[in-house]
Amino acid sequence: MRGYFAIGVERASKKRNLGNLIRSAHAFGASFVFTIGATYSAIEAEADTSKSPAHLPVYNWATADEMILPEGCKIVGIELVDDAVDLPSFRHPLRAAYILGPERGELSPELLEKCDYVVKIPTKFCVNVAMAGAITMYDRVKSLGNFQRRPVGENQEPEEREPHRFGGQFRRK
């Protein structure tokens, strides 16, 4: 898959949720993970059984103003707000830092201002922060990865594809 991504949480307070998110980020191939204004206990991240900090950088910034991202990296807020783009319709940037709001809260107005995009998962209500992160990362991998197309019906063969000459992308025959 081309490009890179990172994922983080603003004001995380639950170490199991953060640990689960970091473990999922490691599994989905994140380049780094981060927190903004997390509590110390959340940073302990005890649910991370893959020991992700040994395999990818973890940045803990006190405020959104301290956040330093690579040049050209787009900030994508994941938040249930009316004017957000539905995740299934969103075209993921090749270089992205996804940021989720805290448990029992939402992204701060200051951080929403910094977002290049705001995306929502089309659910009836908020899901767990680690679950929202995993759904977002899965959607990114699925939409930017070079996977075979799904069949139209359950008993049909998938459409054939031939390699495209640019960056391993595929096009329909």
- Residue 135 pLDDT > 60, yes or no? yes
d(CA 171, CA 154): 22
Lowest mean pLDDT across 14-23, 56-65, 145-154, 161-170: 161-170
Q: Which residue has the higher pLDDT, 80 or 54?
A: 80
Which whole number is the average pLDDT over 109-135? 93
Q: Look at residue 159 and tell me whether its pLDDT is greater than 60.
A: yes
- Is pLDDT of 151 > 80? no
As beta bridge partners, residue 58 has 33
Looking at residue 42, its pLDDT comes to 46
Query: What whole-number distance in Å separates Cα of residue 16 and Cα of residue 108?
Result: 22
pLDDT of the residue at 53: 65
Q: How far apart are CA 63 and CA 116, in angstroms?
A: 18
What architecture is domain 4-145? 3-Layer(aba) Sandwich (3.40)
Please tell me the predicted confidence (pLDDT) of residue 137: 96
**pLDDT digit string, tens, across residues 83-107:** 999 999 999 999 999 999 987 788 9
Residue 119 and residue 87 in contact, taking contact as beta carbons nearer than 8 Å: yes
Domain boundaries, the chain: 4-145
